[in-house]
Structure 1
Amino acid sequence: MPRASRPLAEALADRVVILDGGLSNQLADQGCDLSGGLWSGRVLAGRPDQVEAAHAAYARAGAEVLITASYQVGYDAFAAHGYDRDGTTALLHRSVALAARAAEAADHEVWVAASVGPYGAVLADGSEYRGCYGRGVRELAAFHRPRIEALLAAGADVLALETIPDAEEAEALLGVLAGTGAAAWLTYTVDGPRTRAGQPLTEAFALAAGAPEIIAVGVNCCDPADVLPALEAAASVTPKPLVAYPNDGSVWEAATATWHTPPHPVPWPVEAWRTTGARLIGGCCRIGPPDITELAAGTWGGGGRH
């Protein structure tokens, strides 16, 4: 079956759509070197075949949305590694093309979501889990605008404004999208009932309630236990479809670049997420293709790293 020809928003009106899992952990499992500040962007630049293989693994597992390897690709960050502006734009375009090839080879309907990671991601110091960068809305919009323009020009089906830790950054992103006619989802990374930067989730989600470009809102890259309360907060301020793709319950320590895994699997009350309004469901860090297979089959109970 060719890549999905209808808008993702149309599918969300009918059913739950399955997202992929963590790209970085799949690349690591394929033997790729993700060390250094460019993270998965390093593989995108040096081993694009491995990125396509990772996307294909998720498509085979049943994922219906493939999220591109553009999360950590930023013009300033890549300039520090010798890439000029055209070179970075080419990598952003490549990220979409690789996911599109995997989508076109799938035997089911698949959409390509261009990842727009937060400003903190390109700093490679864990800032996406804190927010409060000391940058205003105007500065953050200036940072995101060229990345978004490049990803839209590459033909992505939808933008994944993901792992956003700060409502102020969400405001900047919404401003960049305003009037473009683009489709995007917005997901925060959260700590209990608040964004990582400390804003109440109801206020953070309310920012997107009236934005026509935003087709769904929710959370990603968070503890599974934080998902349901966050979805309930979102549902209280917007009727938009909801999104959930948490981690496996592990905690990332940026200083040592290591994950701390809980002693017992964290259950995922997927049915409760669906009842609350979740229509895009998948996994983030440390969730791999076997987990997505179980999620697509309705047998997923949580835990990750099978």
Structure 2
Amino acid sequence: YGAYLADGSEYRGDYAVDDAALRRFHRERLEILAPLAELVAFETIPCLREAEQIAAVLAEHPVPAWVSLCCRDDAHVGHGEPIERCAQAVLDLPCVVAVGVNCCAPVHVEGLVSRLRAITSRPLLAYPNAGERYADGSWCGDRIAPDELVALAERWHAAGARLIGGCCRTTPHHIAALDRWRRERGRSAHSASSSSECST
């Protein structure tokens, strides 16, 4: 909902609408998308209220979906609630096939993924922004380099993330670096498996 407002509130979750308006917003879009999609992604969710309304809509229309939360540090969503509490609001639904974080600072992802892994065995998402902050209508701060993103992705994977990518301000170079890393991991795993089979 916050991204639709285009005022940065997707990072804060301080929506000036009631729960019924949030539920209606998501229901209208889900009713259009559900017949056309294999999976619906609810992204950049910054508050418990919105997570709860998404859960209510998915209970009415149980289509495969993932829910990705927008966080301000390594433990809380943008509005301030613990990430575990927000994730649990949607994890009670079998149709939610994955949960995770997006559009947050890369430095916070490892801690967030670890917290999510402690409460669910479902696949975890991690696709942060490029390290800059959105403030006063513009981006500020330093963007991480593609090789820095890959180094962090190794840690996110070790913490439990399985769907890894990039959100705001990441570039095709960042995504290409992640793809190379993924391919190299696959080759290494295959080589290790082949060596093990040969030695038995």
Give the Å deviation of 1:157.
1.9
CA distance in 1, matches of 2:162, 2:125: 6
2:9 corresponds to: 127
Give the Å deviation of 1:261.
2.9
Aligned 1:2-17 pairs, distance under 5 A: none
Do 2:102 and 2:127's aligned partners in 1 also have CA atoms closer than 8 Å? yes
1:141 corresponds to: 23
1:286 corresponds to: 169
Higher helix proportion (structure 1 or 2): 2
Task: Between the two structures, name the one with larger relative contact order (CA 8 Å, sep ≥ 6).
Answer: 1
Q: 1:188 aligns with which of 56, 66, 69?
A: 69
Q: 2:179 aligns with which of 281, 288, 296?
A: 296
Do 2:131 and 2:144's aligned partners in 1 also have CA atoms closer than 8 Å? no
Give TM-score scaled by structure 2 length: 0.82
Give the Å deviation of 1:195.
0.6
C-alpha distance 291-122 of structure 1, shift in aligned 2 (>3 A): same
RMSD value, Cα: 1.9
Q: Which runs of 5+ in 2 are unaligned?
A: 183-200
2:48 corresponds to: 167
Do 1:206 and 1:234's aligned partners in 2 also have CA atoms closer than 8 Å? no
Q: 1:219 aligns with which of 90, 101, 106?
A: 101
CA distance in 2, matches of 1:243, 1:261: 24
Do 1:120 and 1:128's aligned partners in 2 also have CA atoms closer than 8 Å? yes
Residue 128 of structure 2 corresponds to residue 246 of structure 1: yes
Q: Per-residue displacement from partner, 1:199-227 (whole Å, max 9, x unpaired)?
A: 01121112122211111111000100111
Do 2:131 and 2:143's aligned partners in 1 also have CA atoms closer than 8 Å? no
Give the Å deviation of 1:166.
0.6
CA distance in 2, matches of 1:288, 1:264: 11
Q: Which runs of 5+ in 1 are unaligned?
A: 1-118, 300-306
| Deviating 4+ runs (over 2 angstroms) | 134-139, 263-268
Percent identity of the aligned residues?
39
